[in-house]
């Protein structure tokens, strides 16, 4: 009876072996292909293509890029299927480059028919992105990394897809200074972003809490600057290094490590943009080379304790040795990284020590600079000149606007969109990455049930991102990116939790374009990709299921509490009587008044009659405090 039932289910359903539940096998039905990012055009069919070990790949074997993509595809499917596809002249899957320039450098057309699959593109990058789409059309257990039963049927829904990206810069930044991530973890993140058609990995390599890149001509940067004493606890509230403590936490990437990462990224069509954050955020460099400080360099790499304005973390602009140091650093960075851009930071530069420094003041007088903002601009101009000599372009955070922007700089706008708008109107290319949409280190839901951080950026906030504001020339906006600052991200597992699913939202905005976004079609696809992430062992946040609790004041001055959710099909239940809520508790219908003498509010969300979000418990005093703090 069991065999008969299973045979019946296979008619029109997507079977993916014992590791996939029956619910997860139904994606072959028309209208249920769950792709992120959403293609520009898709026509779904009712049939399917069955992938077997006999389904060889046809391509131009003289084209090393296409052969590399076929190797990549086999590497993705082999662990689960137990087979790789050979390259043959008459295979059922064809990778083909065409003269159709309308597809651009990254566009593709994917035709999945019952008999064969044809993937065409103008450039190899388009073939690679078509492969990502193809992999997402396979059952979730393709990502399990474990060989599935031999009788598994690998069925791909038939469809005709034409697709190309809206923006050419679709990035993610990973801060490896505040917390150390290994070479293998960096490669894993690059692989994860490539699967969602993101094409820029911004590598934040230096900061106050660690220098992570080997500079052979300046060995102390990694001998000293890459290490700090171990600490846990809340960032900015940690005890500074004490006398006698050994600096054992940290690490750095050798130049050979970096070459390995770059080769790995290139195979996945991901550009790697290095960041050396100067002239501020340089405490680790000053500890390594104290002579670069204005007055007194700190004695130890910062551990996450407060220091801003107290300990020097800014390079001295009055010393010519600073520019000799930067030339050595940028010479080796430029030789290592093939991309046209090098990011020099330029953000949050404390200028108080420059104001007190006689050498910096002498530099200002000699150069006719009116203030310390113009002194920073002087430094940035010299960085641009150094980079130009090495055939590179300068990109920096929007603070590089202060004191006057260098002629050919590209601006990465993080303090809202204003810096990007100003730069674009002045004829500079910009990458938009405003914190309210793109900072992935922020809370993604109710703070009381989220890991510690300092502000809010929900999944729906990331999905509502539009990189091109009104009145800005669209051609000046290269695209956007998500930024994961790592102050409160001590492990790679937690890094994944913070990036996904907000990274999927940004991937769709930047590939499909804001005009093609639709929240009501997006979040169901996110739920399907949760299943894929589970199979791959990728961590992610389920914060979109949690209730949103918003206290405020009613007209009579009494506290009133609004409850809501990011997802429209959500029921919310609550209690004030110190019991845990469930679907037998009062259901939220309108703003709540707090009963007399109540001490706690507890809230839970349900979808489809089952609990979906976490039980949230907040004291009435905490809710009152949120009102007084305006949060």
pLDDT tens digits for 321-350?
A: 999 999 999 999 999 999 999 999 999 999
Decide if pLDDT at 13 tops 80: no
pLDDT tens digits for 144-180?
A: 999 999 989 999 999 999 999 999 999 999 999 999 9
Q: Of 334, 342, 444, give the one whose Cα is nearest residue 393.
A: 342
pLDDT tens digits for 517-573?
A: 999 999 999 999 999 999 999 999 999 999 999 999 999 999 999 999 999 999 999
Q: 11 is in which domain, residue-wise?
A: 2-163
Residues 484 and 588 in one domain: no
Decide if pLDDT at 186 tops 80: yes
Write down the pLDDT at residue 631: 65
Which residue in the list 348, 527, 560, 622 is annotated as catalytic? 348
For the entire predicted model, the pTM comes to: 0.95
Domain membership flag for residue 427: yes
Report the DSSP pairing between strands 559-564 and 592-593: antiparallel
Write down the pLDDT at residue 10: 36
Residues 121 and 199 in one domain: no
C-alpha span between 380 and 315 (Å, rounded)? 12
- Our count of domains for the chain comes to 3
The CATH number of the domain holding residue 560 is 2.60.40
Decide if pLDDT at 17 tops 70: no
Write down the pLDDT at residue 20: 54
Write down the pLDDT at residue 406: 86
Last residue of a domain, one of 163, 196, 230: 163
pLDDT tens digits for 198-228?
A: 999 999 999 999 999 999 999 999 999 999 9
Write down the pLDDT at residue 28: 40
C-alpha span between 341 and 271 (Å, rounded)? 10
Decide if pLDDT at 499 tops 50: yes
Which residue in the list 122, 281, 343, 437 is annotated as catalytic? 281
Domain membership flag for residue 211: yes
The verdict on whether 275 is a catalytic residue reads no
Last residue of a domain, one of 137, 163, 189: 163
Per 3-state DSSP, the chain is made up of helix, strand and coil in percentages (nearest 5) of 35, 20, 45
Domain membership flag for residue 530: no
pLDDT tens digits for 235-292?
A: 999 999 999 999 999 999 999 999 999 999 999 999 999 999 999 999 999 999 999 9
Bridge partners, residue 588, by sequence: none
The verdict on whether 281 is a catalytic residue reads yes
Q: Of 140, 540, 176, 501, give the one whose Cα is nearest residue 184.
A: 176
Residues 269 and 296 in one domain: yes
Q: How confident is the model at residue 305 (pLDDT cuts 50, 70, 90)?
A: very high
pLDDT tens digits for 459-494?
A: 999 999 999 999 899 999 999 999 999 999 999 999
pLDDT tens digits for 40-61?
A: 999 999 999 999 999 999 999 9
The verdict on whether 116 is a catalytic residue reads no
For 427, the 3-state DSSP assignment is: coil
Domain membership flag for residue 477: yes
Residues 285 and 430 in one domain: yes
Exposure of 131 by Cβ count < 10 A (0-12 exposed, 13-18 middle, 19+ buried)?
buried
Domain membership flag for residue 390: yes
- Structure tokens of 203? 């590598």
Which residue in the list 163, 195, 207, 441 is annotated as catalytic? 207
Decide if pLDDT at 356 tops 90: yes
């Amino acid at each position: 009876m069991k065999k008969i039932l299973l045979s019946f289910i296979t008619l029109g359903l997507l079977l993916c072996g014992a590791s996939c539940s029956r619910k997860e096998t139904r994606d072959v039905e028309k209208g249920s292909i769950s792709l992120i990012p959403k293609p520009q055009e898709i026509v779904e069919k009712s049939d399917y293509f069955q992938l077997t070990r006999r389904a060889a790949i046809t391509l131009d074997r003289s084209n090393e890029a296409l052969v590399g993509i076929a190797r990549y595809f086999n590497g993705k499917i082999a662990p689960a299927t137990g087979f790789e596809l050979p390259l043959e002249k008459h295979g059922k899957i064809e990778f083909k480059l065409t003269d159709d320039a309308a597809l651009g450098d990254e566009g593709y057309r994917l035709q999945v028919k019952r008999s064969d699959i044809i993937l065409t593109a103008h450039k190899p990058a388009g073939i690679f992105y078509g492969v990502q789409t193809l992999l997402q059309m396979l059952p979730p257990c393709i990502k399990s990394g474990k060989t599935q039963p031999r009788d598994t049927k690998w069925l791909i829904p038939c469809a005709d897809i034409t697709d190309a990206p809206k923006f050419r810069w679709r990035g993610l930044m990973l801060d490896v200074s505040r917390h150390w991530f290994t070479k293998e973890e960096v490669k894993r993140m690059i692989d994860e972003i490539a699967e969602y058609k993101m094409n820029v990995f911004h590598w934040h390599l230096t900061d106050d809490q660690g220098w992570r890149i080997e500079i052979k001509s300046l060995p102390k940067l990694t001998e000293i600057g890459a290490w700090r004493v171990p600490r846990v606890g809340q960032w900015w509230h940690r005890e500074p290094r004490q006398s006698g403590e050994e600096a054992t936490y940290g690490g750095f990437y050798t130049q050979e490590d970096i070459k390995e990462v770059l080769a790995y990224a290139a195979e996945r069509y991901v550009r790697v943009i290095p960041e050396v954050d100067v002239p501020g955020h340089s405490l680790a460099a000053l500890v390594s080379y104290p002579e670069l400080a204005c007055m007194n360099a700190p004695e130890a790499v910062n551990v996450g304790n407060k220091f801003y304005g107290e300990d020097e973390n800014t390079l001295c602009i009055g010393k010519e040795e600073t520019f000799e140091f930067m030339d050595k650093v940028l010479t080796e960075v430029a030789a290592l990284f093939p991309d046209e851009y090098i990011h020099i930071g330029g953000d949050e530069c404390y200028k108080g020590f420059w104001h007190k420094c006689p050498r910096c003041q002498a530099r200002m007088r000699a150069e006719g600079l009116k203030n310390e903002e113009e002194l920073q601009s002087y430094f940035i101009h010299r960085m641009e000149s150094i980079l130009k000599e090495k055939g590179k372009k300068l990109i920096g955070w929007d603070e590089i606007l202060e004191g006057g922007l260098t002629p050919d700089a590209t601006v990465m706008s993080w303090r809202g969109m204003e810096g990007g708008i100003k730069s674009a109107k002045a004829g500079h290319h910009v990458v938009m990455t405003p914190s309210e949409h793109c900072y992935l280190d922020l809370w993604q839901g109710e703070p009381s049930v989220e890991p510690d951080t300092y502000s809010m950026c929900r999944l729906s906030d990331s999905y509502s991102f539009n990189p091109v504001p009104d009145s800005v020339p669209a051609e000046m906006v290269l695209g956007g990116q998500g930024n994961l600052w790592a102050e409160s991200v001590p492990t790679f597992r937690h890094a994944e939790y913070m990036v996904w699913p907000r990274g999927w939202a940004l991937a769709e905005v930047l590939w499909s374009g804001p005009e093609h976004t639709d929240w009501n079609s997006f979040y169901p696809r996110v739920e399907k990709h949760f299943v894929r992430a589970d199979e791959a062992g990728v961590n992610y946040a389920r914060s979109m299921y949690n209730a949103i609790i918003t206290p405020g004041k009613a007209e009579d001055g009494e506290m009133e509490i609004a409850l809501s959710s990011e997802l429209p099909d959500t029921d919310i239940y609550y209690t004030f009587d110190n019991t845990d809520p469930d679907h037998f508790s009062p259901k939220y219908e309108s703003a709540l008044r707090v009963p007399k003498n109540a001490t706690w509010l507890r809230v839970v969300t349900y979808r489809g009659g089952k609990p979906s979000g976490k039980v949230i418990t907040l004291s009435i005093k905490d809710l009152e405090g949120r009102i007084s703090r305006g949060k």
